[in-house]
Structure 1
Amino acid sequence: MKALLAISAALALLSSTPASAIVGGGVPSAEGVGRSIVTIVGSRGNFCTGALIAPKVVLTAAHCVQSGADYKIVEYGPDRQPQLKDVKSIAIHPAFRMDAMTSHRATADVALLQLAAPAAGKAPAALGAPNIPVVVGGRFTIAGIGVTVRGDGKSGGMVRVAGLIATGQPGTLQIRLVDPLSQGARDGLGACTGDSGGPVFEDKQTGPAIVGVISWSTGPNNSAGCGGITGVTPLTLYRDWILQTARQWGAAF
């Protein structure tokens, strides 16, 4: 009963009228990359973002679905009323370390959810190639259902997207993204609470492909908060595990 109440509380926050853009600005999107986005709510009152990669398989961040809690997927009917859908099983990458993630260090912050039934009204997104060269200034698109005002759960719940660029020393362990205008030095576009687990897309001629998941964020100049740096776990080292696990669940790629 307590688990259900906590999930319902998280859902109530997301059912409120959301703000108009991902933190700092951006363009809401229910089409394109937004068609793969799902909302994950937990019995501890948390909510995260996931991306459908097969009709019954959702990719998200490992820190979003830790053991000891129950998780559901939120679906919206024609009347926009939210409905909770069951998660059949969860697989967390065995190399994930929570202490590394909370310290913004590289770790296998990747998990999969097997749904009890296909997600209604959604379309799976493609995974990117096994090895993608990431250079400073490389462009990526993030998507999520997180808050636009830090600490205000009522400002979350709508799919939003933002175009960011790579900064620092991007590689196969971690990618750091910033708003191309603010460069992380002042408030700008970026992930916030609830966007964790959201997909990071690389634009390809064949269409957008998922190359990472959102793991953490900072405020401007590495302060606490949002709108500074968006920390991404690239899928390069974990792609084989993702495909193997999903195929064990009956997914075809």
Structure 2
Amino acid sequence: MVGDAPPASASIARHVVMIVGSHGTSCTGTLISQSVVLTAAHCVQPGSDYKLVRFDAARNPTLLPVATIARHPGFEMAALLGHRATADVALLKAESPLPASFAPAPLARRTEIAVGDAFTVAGMGVAVRGDGRSGGTVRAASLVATGQPGSLQLRLVDAATKGEQPGRGACTGDSGAPAFAEEDGRLAVAGVVSWSTGPKLTAGCGGLTGVTPLSRYRSWIAEAAQKLGTRLAP
């Protein structure tokens, strides 16, 4: 999460995990039950093995094996690469439940989003583009909806820079991260991060943060979680 995004509060960080792949990929995910993580479909590719990563207070990592992956059958990589809407959602089930220091987050119920609506995006990606060592900490950015928000895709931006100058936003390693919205006094997952741009739609980070909303996929997520032997957080 670039743009001097601060470390996330403890209440947000306990929902978020890092996902690493055997081919060197890194993404972010959200715990939606004590053993199931929601992430982006493009983060889990056939032929790779994945592990969840948790860090202790001294920043020492522990790898947690992933037992099963469910990727939405409607996902299309070509659409994602063109920053077009697609079913960019997937679930990973850990071999064993995550420790009690983690807590599942509920899915948002909202279906309508307007320009200017506020979201908190929390990811474990790099804080400085190109510096892999700057990742691994849950950082949060307050962003707002811009453009023509709908049920297929959201484009979020730093309200202070509006995507015209470098600002806060998702970067490498933040794919799959949650976009939280406040509902009934608590944060709920309204979408997952799919892509990012630099200012003025250039390549990079700190411009737009592209998010796949969950409103169209909530039923698939619930059914897939049930097949994985778990229920979503209420």
Normalised TM-score (structure 1): 0.89
Write the distance in 2 (CA, Å) between the matches of 1:61 and 1:252: 19
Aligned to 2:165: 186
- Out of 162, 175, 182, the residue aligned to residue 203 of structure 1 is 182
Aligned to 1:76: 55
Name stretches of at least 5 consecutive residues in structure 1 with no aligned partner.
1-21
Question: By how many angstroms is 1:79 displaced?
Answer: 4.4
Deviations 1:125-184 (A, max 9, x none): 11111x421000110000000001111111111000010000000000000000000000
Write the distance in 2 (CA, Å) between the matches of 1:70 and 1:100: 24
Matched residue type, 1:242: I
Q: Is the 8 A contact 1:33 1:125 kept in 2?
A: no
1:57-206 aligned at under 5 Å gives the runs 57-77=36-56, 79-120=58-99, 121-129=101-109, 131-206=110-185
Is 2:5 the partner of 1:26?
Answer: yes
Q: Which deviates further from its counterpart, 222-231 or 150-159?
A: 150-159
Matched residue type, 1:199: P
- Pick the structure with more helix per residue: 1
Question: By how many angstroms is 1:206 displaced?
Answer: 3.1
Deviations 1:210-231 (A, max 9, x none): 0100000000000000000000
**1:241 aligned counterpart, secondary structure:** helix
Question: By how many angstroms is 1:94 displaced?
Answer: 0.2
Write the distance in 1 (CA, Å) between the matches of 2:178 and 2:139: 11
Question: By how many angstroms is 1:78 displaced?
Answer: 5.2
Write the distance in 2 (CA, Å) between the matches of 1:150 and 1:61: 20
- Out of 177, 182, 191, the residue aligned to residue 212 of structure 1 is 191
Runs ≥4 residues deviating over 4 A = none
Aligned to 1:240: 219
- Out of 29, 34, 50, the residue aligned to residue 50 of structure 1 is 29
Write the distance in 2 (CA, Å) between the matches of 1:153 and 1:43: 17
Q: In angstroms, what is the RMSD of aligned CA positions? A: 1.1
Q: Is the 8 A contact 1:75 1:119 kept in 2?
A: no
Aligned to 1:13: none
Q: Taking every aligned residue pair, what percent have the same amino acid on both sides?
A: 55
Question: By how many angstroms is 1:200 displaced?
Answer: 0.5
